[in-house]
Structure formats: structure tokens, C-alpha cells
Amino acid sequence: MIRFENVGMRYGTGPEVLRDVTFELKAGAFHFLVGASGAGKSTLLKLMYLAHRPTRGLINIFDRNLASIPREELPDIRQRIGVVYQDFRLLNHLSAFDNVALPLRVNGAREDVVQKHVGELLGWVGLADHINALPPTLSGGQKQRVAIARAVISRPSLLLADEPTGNVDDTIAVRLLYLFEELNRMGTTVVIATHNKSLVDRFKHPVMRLGDGQVRTEEDEADWGAGLRRDAEASFGTKGDAPTVPPREL
């Protein structure tokens, strides 16, 4: 489904964010993508949903070499990819319902089908009472759930979600993971970038870890501790460098 070979990526003249990324995602896979803040998770997802081109290396998507896909064919490929953006990207002048309905309507779905599916899905994510709300009147967690519903409504071949549970409580996070798993059972390949260790532990899908500009696949959750320690040391130095806690004022 997706293959990266020695992919590098930098923004402008900045340092390489991704240095030498090589991995393969098989159709029907479900992976968590983890790594320290700033490790490049969003950047990797952006390459996968074709928002950026790599500065070097090979990307195969849906078994085609990205470099040889004509620009005019990219929108068709993007339509097969559902994306949950970290900043939601909802259309503020459309209701929650109409935001979620948009991908179906763009694809020419019948209005009775739209009404049924969008209503059911918004109910599932706990927004039955907010169907007609405009995004600016919703909380962060509610917006996030509208964004998720919009990304999954048309059953994409590939779902890429950037920190999709960052704004919701644990109960809703688990429910959203069940939704992603259901989609995966129906054939969608899923990649979820997350900092939520308890979700990764609970759902036991293979982990892709980004660090030092590279991806490693960790099947063994025991590696989590080592990975987290590596991330913390890379970001903050060793334990000995910890700042002194100021005394509590009396």
C-alpha cells in the first residue's frame, strides 16, 4: 500500500527533519506512529497524504511511484485518503452535519444515504446533540470528533490521523479507537500518530517509532520504556541535567 525508501525531508533550507526513512505499510495494516514532540510525525503523515514532496528518496503509494504520478492524477489519489488534521480544518460556516456530509456529497451520494450515515456517525462519536452546531461554537474535543467523522465517513482506503485523541477524555478516546478498528476491519489501512501511551498499550497494534529522523517498527511494547527514555534524553539531556525545582513560596 505504501513504501518509503531512504526518504529525506527538510523544510526550505532548514535541517533534515526526516533523514533516512524506510518502511512498508501493507494493505489492511493498523499502526501507531509515536515519537517525541518535533520528531517529525506530522511531517511523515504529510508526505503520506501528499501535502509535501520528499527532498529525496522513493515513495510508493497505492503501488505507484509518487515521482511518476502526473499532477492532475493527485486529487484522485488524495480522495482515497482520509486525514484527521491536528488542527481539525473544519469549515466554520458549515454545521457539524454538513462538514461530515461534504465528502459524501462531493462523491454524489444520495441525500437519504447522507442523512442516514452522517446522523449515525455523529451519534456514535457522541455528537447527536450538536449536529447543527457551527464549529466555532464547539469545544476542542467536539471539533476533533467532527474532524474524525469527516475523515472516516467515506471509508477511505487509507486513514491518517494526527493526534486524533489529543483533545478528548479517555472514555471518548477508547470509543474513537474502536471506530478506527471497525474501519480497519472493513479494509482501511490505518496510521495514528499519538502521544497517548495508554491507548498504544491497550490496543496492541504495531508501533512505528520516529526518532533521529528515522522510523523503527516496534512490535514489542516492552520497548516503549526504552523508546521514551531515548526521546526524553534526546530532548532534555540526561536526568542529571534536570532543572532545580524552585522552593515553594510560603
Ligand X SMILES: Nc1ncnc2c1ncn2[C@@H]1O[C@H](COP(=O)(O)OP(=O)(O)OP(=O)(O)O)[C@@H](O)[C@H]1O
Residues that bind ligand X (CB under 6 A): 11, 14, 17, 35, 37-43
Question: Residue 39 or 59: which CB sits closer to ligand X?
Answer: 39
Question: Residue 40 or 227: which CB sits closer to ligand X?
Answer: 40
Question: Residue 11 or 178: which CB sits closer to ligand X?
Answer: 11
Question: Residue 29 or 39: which CB sits closer to ligand X?
Answer: 39
Amino acid in the structure at residue 236: F
Q: Closest distance between ligand X and the C-beta of residue 237, in Å? A: 18
Q: Closest distance between ligand X and the C-beta of residue 145, in Å? A: 19
Question: Residue 20 or 98: which CB sits closer to ligand X?
Answer: 20
Q: Closest distance between ligand X and the C-beta of residue 229, in Å? A: 17
What are the beta bridge partners of residue 5?
58
